[in-house]
Amino acid sequence: MDVEIGSNLYRNTDGTVEIEGVPQLMLALRRPGGPVLVNFVLYDHVGRVVAKVVDSTIAFNERRAYELTKLPTGLVLTHVESSKVVLQVEWKENSRVAIQKGEFLTVKGHLLEISPVEWRVDKRRMSGGDTDLKGGAMVLG
């Protein structure tokens, strides 16, 4: 599977996104053409799990702080109180999954920001990359 995170392209991935050494996001296509299945763990500033998405459905949502909206080609997870997009995942043509928007904490309490032009976590940022992972995981941070 090919995945775009911001302006970075990760080709031939297994769909796992490791952030600061922890698999925090997993993407899968049930069949060619979608829909995208998303597994995602959301942490607070001390590394405690506050929400969990399993197979594109909220499985755990502490204090009902997050809302999941399913789209025909993906999903959007938002913080209810602030209306900020936590994670937006879409299936695109060419069997490619795109994450163009996101803002959430890693297990170490660092803010990961994804915009259409880059991803940024702690002091690391990446823009415009094109990496063939040969079946491996995407590593951020």
pTM of the model: 0.94
Cis bond leading into 72, ω under 30°? no
**Beta-carbon neighbour count of residue 82 at 10 Å?**
10
The C-alpha atoms of residue 105 and residue 132 are separated, in whole angstroms, by 26
Q: Can you give the residue ranges of every domain in the chain?
A: 2-129
Q: What digits encode the pLDDT tens for the residues 67-86?
A: 999 998 899 999 999 999 99
Q: What digits encode the pLDDT tens for the residues 93-140?
A: 777 999 999 999 999 999 999 999 999 998 899 999 999 999 999 999
Interior/surface letters 38-66, b for 16+ CB within 10 angstroms, e for the rest: bbbbbbeeeeeebbbbeebebeebeeebb
The kind and range of the H/E element at 8 are: strand 8-11
